[in-house]
């Protein structure tokens, strides 16, 4: 087993995990507005998506998709559509909450406490699905894993190391996002996040639409 390789993979992946992006944003949004169970399920969904990306990269399927103009364009279009839709939904929610504040004579915290009852409650399965699709349909994640495995996981790497790498990346992802979900969904922290949920929705919307716009511009420039 190549421990040096595994250490390099772990370091790169940890940096990627803690960097702000759609995965981080959706966990913060879920923690502020949904149950702890749904938020942890979202974290599991993200980790499973990363596991899928890892397996697709190891099997060479991701590289085949990247090298096929039609397949890669289709993946990008689906990803852009999903991320843009999630972004617009977040912006729509932010606008609704801003209007609620403007129209309310209550203090912001009290207004959000009342508005909490109007927020659609997600079950565990929906939380898992949102996490899964947010990462799985992000073309940037596809490119990240293709690049990572093309550079570090060469044909000379043995099967045991590949299995260890797969387990390592999945475990790190699950630990990080689950920890994030558990911490942010603590009652006191959740209450503070809820009081600024309009800002959270706005930022989440900007992040998702920004990522989708970046991919869309790149897609257009390729034609």
What's the pLDDT score for residue 212? 86
Residue 99 lies in a domain: yes
How far is residue 145's CA from residue 216's CA, in Å, rounded to a whole number? Answer: 20
Structural domain span for residue 205? 22-222
What's the pLDDT score for residue 223? 67
Residue 6 lies in a domain: no
What's the pLDDT score for residue 215? 84
* 15-30 as b/e: b if 16+ CB within 10 A: ebbeeebbbbbbbbbb
What's the pLDDT score for residue 105? 53
How far is residue 81's CA from residue 86's CA, in Å, rounded to a whole number? Answer: 9
Total domains in the chain come to 1
Residue 16 lies in a domain: no
How far is residue 215's CA from residue 73's CA, in Å, rounded to a whole number? Answer: 11
pTM of the full predicted structure?
0.83
Residue 14 lies in a domain: no
Residue 127 lies in a domain: yes
Percent of the chain scoring above 90 in pLDDT: 29
What's the pLDDT score for residue 107? 53
3-state secondary structure string across the chain: CCHHHHHHHHHHHHHHHHCCCHHHHHHHHHHHHCCHHHHHHHHHHHHHHHHHHHHHHHCCHHHHHHHCHHHHHHHHHHHHHHHHHHHHHHHHHHHHHHHHHHHCCCCHHHHHHHHHHHCCCCCHHHHHHHHHHHHHCCHHHHHHHHHHHHHHCCCCCCHHHHHHHHHHHHHHHHHHHHHHHHHHCCHHHHHHHHHCHHHHHHHHHHHHHHHHHHHHHHHHHHC
Residue 51 lies in a domain: yes
- pLDDT tens, the chain, 223 aa long: 778 888 988 998 999 898 888 899 999 989 988 888 999 999 999 999 999 999 988 888 887 887 888 888 888 888 888 889 988 988 888 888 777 777 765 555 555 454 554 456 778 999 999 999 999 988 888 888 888 887 787 777 888 988 999 999 999 999 999 999 999 989 888 888 887 888 888 888 898 898 888 888 887 877 6
Residue 13 lies in a domain: no
Residue 12 lies in a domain: no
């Amino acid at each position: 087993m190549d421990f040096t390789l595994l250490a390099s993979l772990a370091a790169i992946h940890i940096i990627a995990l803690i960097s702000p992006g759609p995965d981080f944003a959706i966990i913060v949004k879920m923690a502020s507005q949904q149950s702890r169970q749904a938020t942890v399920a979202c974290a599991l969904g993200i980790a499973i998506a990363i596991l899928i990306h890892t397996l697709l990269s190891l099997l060479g399927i991701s590289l085949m998709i990247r090298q096929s103009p039609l397949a890669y364009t289709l993946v990008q279009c689906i990803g852009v559509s999903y991320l843009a839709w999630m972004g617009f939904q977040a912006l729509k929610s932010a606008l609704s909450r801003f209007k609620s504040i403007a129209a309310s004579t209550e203090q912001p915290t009290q207004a959000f406490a009342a508005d909490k009852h109007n927020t659609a409650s997600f079950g565990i399965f929906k939380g898992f699905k949102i996490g899964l699709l947010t990462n799985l349909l992000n073309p940037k994640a596809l490119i990240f894993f293709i690049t990572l495995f093309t550079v570090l996981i060469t044909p000379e790497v043995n099967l045991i190391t590949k299995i260890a790498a797969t387990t390592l990346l999945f475990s790190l992802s699950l630990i990080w996002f689950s920890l994030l979900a558990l911490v942010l969904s603590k009652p006191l922290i959740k209450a503070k996040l809820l009081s600024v949920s309009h800002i959270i929705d706005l930022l989440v919307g900007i992040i998702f639409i920004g990522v989708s716009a970046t991919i869309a511009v790149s897609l257009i420039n390729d034609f």
